[in-house]
């Protein structure tokens, strides 16, 4: 099993490519890998409760760890209570920890 950390910096509403990146996370998980999706910058906009977040909640249900950067959330005025089901706030240094743990890191 390979460990992956996918960093998503774009909102799925603004970018179709961001939507495909979520599909990549789902495919990697389906293949039996350990997958974390870390939302940063405008990527955290997709983490708000509502229709755009349904795919993130589905990923979380499938076993993908879906994390949203705490700083990016604060910068955009999104409180933890407004996050979709399955999405957790996390500090950016989580990515450094994952790199040190041998995760393959991809940024989009």
pLDDT tens track, the chain, 108 positions = 899 999 999 988 887 888 899 999 999 999 999 999 999 999 999 999 986 788 999 999 999 999 999 999 999 999 989 999 999 999 999 999 999 999 999 998
User: Taking the mean position of all CA atoms in its chain, how far away is CA 91?
Assistant: 13
Q: CA 104, CA 98: separation in Å to the nearest integer?
A: 8
Q: Within the chain, where are the H helices?
A: 16-30, 54-61, 70-75, 93-100
The residue ranges of every structural domain in the chain are 1-76
Q: CA 78, CA 60: separation in Å to the nearest integer?
A: 19
**44: nearest Cα among 17, 13, 23:** 13
- The CATH number of the structural domain formed by 1-76 is 3.40.1260.10
The pLDDT value given to residue 5: 98
Q: CA 104, CA 108: separation in Å to the nearest integer?
A: 13
The pLDDT value given to residue 16: 81
The pLDDT value given to residue 51: 64
The pLDDT value given to residue 91: 97
């Amino acid at each position: 099993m390979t460990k992956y950390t996918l960093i998503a910096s774009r909102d799925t509403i603004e970018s179709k490519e961001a939507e495909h990146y979520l599909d990549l996370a789902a495919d990697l998980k389906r293949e039996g890998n350990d997958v974390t999706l870390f939302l940063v910058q405008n990527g955290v906009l997709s983490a708000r409760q509502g229709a755009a977040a349904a795919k993130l909640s589905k990923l979380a249900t499938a076993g993908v760890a879906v994390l949203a950067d705490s700083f990016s959330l604060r910068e955009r005025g999104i409180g933890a209570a407004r996050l979709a089901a399955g999405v957790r706030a996390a500090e950016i240094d989580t990515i450094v920890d994952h790199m040190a743990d041998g995760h393959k890191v991809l940024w989009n």
